Structure 1
Amino acid sequence: MAQEAPTPAPAPAPATPAPAPEQIVAGLSRDNIGITTSFDGSQILIYGAVKREAPEPDDEKLAVIVTLEGPLGPVTIRRKSREFGIWVNTASVGVAAAPSYYAVATSGPMDEILPPRVDTQQRISIPLAMRAFSGPLEVEDSKPFTEALLRIRERQGLYEMETGGVHIVDNTLFRADFDLPANLTEGDYKTRIFLLRGGKLVDQYQSAIEVRKVGLERWLYTLAHQQAALYGLLSLALAVFAGWAAAAIFRFVR
């Protein structure tokens, strides 16, 4: 008599990871920003609390880092040199993706609360926020090029580092304020919160802020990108009308 094969035992269910002893509960003062013709910047408040499942450790200091990152885009950094009395581009370095805006706020000095290993893994500091280079490098040392990009965007208010910008109350509540410049790029802005204790990453939180052109600004942007021919004709008609109006006013004044 044929014997039935034994029924295989069911595979054990994957173990559910234990919750972090401390977790971030956070929110934003607003999750969208409208760019209009009169837009001159905005302010974002990022706030939250630390949820604990056990008593707070006494021997390790709590630290919080908050980052706000704009849309990524390729950037080419060029170096000019004087050749035969003329300034020309002699070398360039391409960055595959650099944030259009990047701000970091910390509860303490970065070199004291953020280990290099965690910074490398999470790309928290401003220099590491830029992604890999695009294409082969044509220069021996790329550091002066990336440093130049950082200086330019810092002067434009697009890259900011604020030590002490995160305020912690009773080791539980925290907040960080970001002043956004007027020259924002449209897109989705990513905010990240990192909770560290004793140099170890305990928990992290991520959310998004939508930045979009609205009103007349949005209509012109959409027209220029989706109906370029019509946009060109309207621009030409506006230029002709402006020239005619200026000539008419000049004749009237004379």
Structure 2
Amino acid sequence: MRKLLMPALTAAALALLPHSAAQAAEEEVVLGLSQDRVAITATFDGSEILVFGAVKRETPIPSDNPLEVIVTVSGPAPAVTVRRKEKKLGIWVNVDSVLVDSAPAFYAVATSAPFRQVLTDTEDLRFRVSIERAIRSVGAAMHIRGAQSFADAVVRIREGNGLYSLRENTVAVDEQTLFRTAIKMPADLTEGEYQTRIFLTRGGEVVSNYETTIHVRKVGLERFLYSMSREQPFLYGLMALAIAIASGWGASAAFSLLRNR
């Protein structure tokens, strides 16, 4: 009797699952990257990552809502102290500061349609996809007014520097099965792990998601100098001083030679 009840209970449980959960098992992301490592050299001027993939299905394509795709690339997210200045007695001084707990050094969002069309506010809150939701500031001192403006300032400054971007309608989706987009990464990248996420949505709800990592590292002379500055700061300072002295002496000798001619 128990063996007969188990299939019936399983079928009933599946019938009670939300529509999005049922689709999540039917549609899955199969992802590819043009490169999963970015090398920062002395001549590095940026990189473009091609993100492409397909949708794996066990059932026919649903006909209710079209498939939409969201791709996000997020850099290292250390805490950032944001300060507000005010002019007092003719001098600009720091009056307030707030610690923003998590602010990605780089954050790009690419979508196959307008953002509010491909993702609801509820799903955005759940997965923290939009730029505003990617910034996390747990709290500020009670005496600080307009604490949210500090996080907004981080977004505004980094958008102006090209580090944060929302790229709507830049993901191409073919036959609700194949998708591709290109993410441009600037020259002033921060070294670290860059999290790449792909979301499949229908009717604004996430039906499947996939995560992978892009490794960004300094190499060659850049890596040597970076490691020395962190691990042996005293020797790094002596080397910088020696280079400065040698450069000054070399320039002086060159000018003296030109004057004597």
> What is the TM-score when the length of structure 1 is the normalising length?
0.90
Residue matched to 1:202: 207
Return the alpha-carbon distance in structure 1 between the equivalents of residues 133 and 65 of structure 2: 26
Residue matched to 1:39: 44
Instruction: Report the secondary structure of 2:56's partner residue.
Output: strand
Return the alpha-carbon distance in structure 1 between the equivalents of residues 63 and 147 of structure 2: 44
1:95 to 96, 100, 107: 100
Residue matched to 1:247: 252
Give the CA deviation at 1:137.
5.2
Return the alpha-carbon distance in structure 1 between the equivalents of residues 143 and 258 of structure 2: 60
The count of corresponding residues between Structure 1 and Structure 2 is 240
2:191 to 173, 182, 186: 186
Rate the CA distance shift 1:212–1:138 in 2: closer, same or farther, 3 A.
Answer: farther
Higher strand share: 1
Residue matched to 1:53: 58
Give the CA deviation at 1:74.
1.1
Return the alpha-carbon distance in structure 2 between the equivalents of residues 118 and 199 of structure 1: 8
Return the alpha-carbon distance in structure 2 between the equivalents of residues 242 and 133 of structure 1: 48
Residue-by-residue CA offset, 1:124-183 (whole Å, 9 max, x unaligned): 000010123365354232232222211110111100100001110111100111111001
Across the aligned residues of Structure 1 and Structure 2, the Cα RMSD in angstroms comes to 1.7
1:174 to 157, 175, 179: 179
Give the CA deviation at 1:199.
2.2
Rate the CA distance shift 1:75–1:178 in 2: closer, same or farther, 3 A.
Answer: same
Residue matched to 2:144: 139
Return the alpha-carbon distance in structure 2 between the equivalents of residues 236 and 113 of structure 1: 55
**1:235 partnered with 2:237:** no
Residue matched to 2:155: 150
Gaps of 5+ in 1: 1-11
**Does 82-91 or 30-39 show the bigger shift?**
82-91
Gaps of 5+ in 2: 1-5, 15-21
Return the alpha-carbon distance in structure 2 between the equivalents of residues 129 and 242 of structure 1: 45
Higher helix share: 2
Contact 1:93 1:137 in 2 (8 A): no
Give the CA deviation at 1:208.
0.3
User: What are the within-5 Å matches in structure 2 for residues 1-80 of structure 1?
Assistant: 20-80=25-85
Contact 2:48 2:184 in 1 (8 A): yes
Return the alpha-carbon distance in structure 2 between the equivalents of residues 81 and 242 of structure 1: 41
Residue-by-residue CA offset, 1:200-230 (whole Å, 9 max, x unaligned): 2111000000000001100101111111121
Return the alpha-carbon distance in structure 2 between the equivalents of residues 141 and 134 of structure 1: 11
Q: Which amino acid aligns with 1:171?
A: Q
Residue matched to 2:217: 212
Q: Percent identity?
A: 49
4+ runs deviating over 6 angstroms: none
Return the alpha-carbon distance in structure 2 between the equivalents of residues 109 and 119 of structure 1: 14
Residue-by-residue CA offset, 1:88-130 (whole Å, 9 max, x unaligned): 1122221011100000000111111211111111100000101
Q: Which amino acid aligns with 1:25?
A: V
Return the alpha-carbon distance in structure 2 between the equivalents of residues 187 and 138 of structure 1: 35
Give the CA deviation at 1:69.
0.2
Rate the CA distance shift 1:86–1:180 in 2: closer, same or farther, 3 A.
Answer: same
